[in-house]
Structure 1
Amino acid sequence: MDELAGEFEAERGHLLAVAQRMLGSRSEAEDAVQETWLRYSGALADPADRARIRDLRGWLTTTCSRLCLDVLRSARVRREAYPGQWLPEPVVTGLPAADGFAPDPAERAVRADQLGTALLVVLERLTPEQRVAFVLHDVFAVPFGDVAEVLGTTPEAARQLASRARRAAHGPDTPRHSADLAEQRRVLTAFVAAVESGELEQLVRVLAPDAVSIGDAGGHFPAARRPVVGAESAARLLLGLFDQARRRGGLRVRPVLVDGTLGWHAELAWPDGRTMRMVTSFAVHEGRVTGVFNQLNPEKVGELPPLGPDAAWPPRW
């Protein structure tokens, strides 16, 4: 059993990445990985059974993906009843070393499993089968034969599911994100300066014409119930939000990576005495912000550690 546990722990990070990107929920992803362990330890406790598994990562990925597929199929009703807009639970990590912002042709390949919030939002529009096919094949390079095994279909059908998902992910109403970290830093520095200025026209110039702003409060804080689309509409909303934050005072921000892209973790004192925590991520394409995603549902950001005394506005990457 110790040997099985060691083998599984070596794959836990990979399985968690797969499940997180399929489900958009850290807690649900952890549950899926734990259930994968239970099935693994039960099915392969006999050394003879374990010896027949030549590709352990493949076996574990298939098992975990089937569990995620079941969760996705049952989650539809829960998502339809969700109060307001829905965003995935953010995966928040520290900033890279100073030289990590340098443009690097290999950066996109290195970050291939970091979808960014924009694409995770798009994945919510897909059927469970399309989402599983897309994540497994396009993100984690799982062959279509293995994807078909997860879905209980043929490789050709799995290929078609991934193709439909790909078209949806790159559709005209999808916030585009193609910037490396260096470009993200340049654009977001201009974004913060525009917000600081309070000038509508300056902020509009930083936003793409079809930019979208989405906020997920889960019913705990005020938030727009539908996406705000268009540079001017989004700019007015964002300037209003930051003006309210400044007037309340106490806004503190720490720059972070959110699902592999630049963003920030913020805290603000709410009038009723609560501390509002928020994780903001962005989509950046061709020198402009195409998407602003504010996650302020305490059920999704409540486990983040409190900000230290060095956190302040404006953020500097």
Structure 2
Amino acid sequence: MATDLHSTDGLTREFEEHRAVLTSVAYRMLGRVVDAEDTVQDAWLRWASADRGDVAEPRAYLVRITTRLALDRLRQAQNRRESYVGPWLPEPLVTESGPAVQDSSERLLSAESVSMAMLVVLESLSPLERAVFVLREAFGYPYAEVARVLERGEPAVRQLGTRARRHVDSGAPRYTVDPQERRDLTERFLSAAGGGDLQALLSLLAPDVSLVGDGGGNAKAPRRIIETADKVGRFIAAVAQQTIGDGEVRLVEFNGATAVVFLVEGRVRQAAQIEVADGLIQRLYLWTNPQKVEPINTQLQRGS
């Protein structure tokens, strides 16, 4: 039986059918879980008050609203990020693997296009380029539909897509996505760092490894990207034993890949994730900013 879009229950059911996709679009656009959820809530308000005569295809209508709202929010956020203290990393998205998720639309959230490495590259695109890339590359929308969503001519949207694709191809690191290799190397990394074994730690790092820390001026973290195995290894060795010794270490999954959270009195205080290629750690992401870390606690509680 067709959904009655004129009833409150019908409106809610129809919206909830598309919530996972809308959240996925918003998160890829914004790089923050809280902002994505707020954007989807705003989309719900627009949806609930919309003229039903304007809604021929609910999913297309909702994606259009969500994308436009995310664009507005992204433009505002970019101004704030210009004064951000130190590197800005996207907020991790707690995901999970397994058959129950693999077969559902929620698995959209842990596809390659939402990996941390990809999200970092997307941060360098303009808001419009990012919108085109997300809709075209992550969700497979034809350019004609992307043009309707963005209210731009199709030739202009194609140019935006070409520029975005070229930029991503030149900037996206070619890291392996083998989950078991990443998990194994994460465990070895934790063992070496926690044991204070600098030589074992250095043996896991690529010569040109980099460490990106996001403290936002609110917590201790490098204010510049640290590069080379020696500098990264010594930094990790200097802080790891205290960090690991102060509480509990737990392996979780961020953005479809193994990550680590460090808990004190049951709450996440720091988080980290590595990128791997050729059997070595190529990049480390470190989150200490409470504004990025605290939402991880909320996400983990939802999944428990």
- TM-score over 0.5 for the pair: yes
Report deviation, 1:114.
5.3
For residue 18 of structure 1, what is the aligned residue in structure 2?
A: 25
In structure 2, the CA distance between the partners of 1:299 and 1:207, relative to structure 1 (3 Å rule), is: same
In structure 2, the CA distance between the partners of 1:95 and 1:236, relative to structure 1 (3 Å rule), is: farther
Counterpart selection for 2:259 from 250, 256, 263: 263
User: 1:220 and 1:240 mapped to 2: Cα distance?
Assistant: 20
Report deviation, 1:65.
0.5
User: 1:170 and 1:197 mapped to 2: Cα distance?
Assistant: 38
The residue type equivalent to 1:130 in the other structure is E
User: 1:109 and 1:290 mapped to 2: Cα distance?
Assistant: 25
The residue type equivalent to 1:253 in the other structure is V
The residue type equivalent to 1:181 in the other structure is P
Report deviation, 1:293.
0.8
Contact 1:175-1:212 at 8 Å conserved across structures: no
TM-score, structure 1 as length reference:
0.81
In structure 2, the CA distance between the partners of 1:231 and 1:175, relative to structure 1 (3 Å rule), is: farther
**Is 1:210 paired with 2:199?**
no
Counterpart selection for 2:289 from 297, 304, 307: 297
Contact 2:251-2:258 at 8 Å conserved across structures: yes
Deviation digits for residues 50-82 of structure 1, max 9, x if unmatched?
4xx1x3212211111011111112222100111
User: 2:108 and 2:186 mapped to 1: Cα distance?
Assistant: 23
Report deviation, 1:154.
2.6
Report deviation, 1:110.
9.4
Contact 2:112-2:118 at 8 Å conserved across structures: no
Report deviation, 1:30.
1.4
Most deviating of 6-15 and 109-118: 109-118
Contact 2:221-2:288 at 8 Å conserved across structures: no
Contact 1:254-1:264 at 8 Å conserved across structures: yes
Report deviation, 1:263.
0.3
User: 2:109 and 2:69 mapped to 1: Cα distance?
Assistant: 27
In structure 2, the CA distance between the partners of 1:142 and 1:113, relative to structure 1 (3 Å rule), is: farther
For residue 133 of structure 2, what is the aligned residue in structure 1?
A: 134
User: 1:109 and 1:34 mapped to 2: Cα distance?
Assistant: 19
**Is 1:178 paired with 2:185?**
no
User: 2:61 and 2:176 mapped to 1: Cα distance?
Assistant: 33
For residue 229 of structure 2, what is the aligned residue in structure 1?
A: 231
User: 1:303 and 1:259 mapped to 2: Cα distance?
Assistant: 14
Deviation digits for residues 250-272 of structure 1, max 9, x if unmatched?
23111111111110121248xxx
How many residue pairs align between the two structures? 287
User: 2:128 and 2:264 mapped to 1: Cα distance?
Assistant: 39
For residue 9 of structure 2, what is the aligned residue in structure 1?
A: 2
User: Which of structure 1's runs of 4+ aligned residues deviate more than 6 A?
Assistant: none
The residue type equivalent to 2:151 in the other structure is G
Contact 1:62-1:146 at 8 Å conserved across structures: no
Report deviation, 1:189.
2.9
Contact 1:282-1:290 at 8 Å conserved across structures: yes
For residue 103 of structure 1, what is the aligned residue in structure 2?
A: none
For residue 90 of structure 1, what is the aligned residue in structure 2?
A: 92
Contact 2:205-2:282 at 8 Å conserved across structures: yes
SS of equivalent residue, structure 1 residue 57: helix
User: 1:193 and 1:276 mapped to 2: Cα distance?
Assistant: 19
Structure-to-structure mapping, 1:1-317, within 5 angstroms = 1-44=8-51, 46=52, 48-50=53-55, 53=56, 55-94=57-96, 96=98, 111-112=110-111, 115-171=114-170, 174-246=172-244, 249-268=245-264, 277-305=269-297
User: 1:10 and 1:112 mapped to 2: Cα distance?
Assistant: 20
For residue 5 of structure 2, what is the aligned residue in structure 1?
A: none
User: 1:302 and 1:254 mapped to 2: Cα distance?
Assistant: 16
Report deviation, 1:3.
0.5
The residue type equivalent to 2:187 in the other structure is T
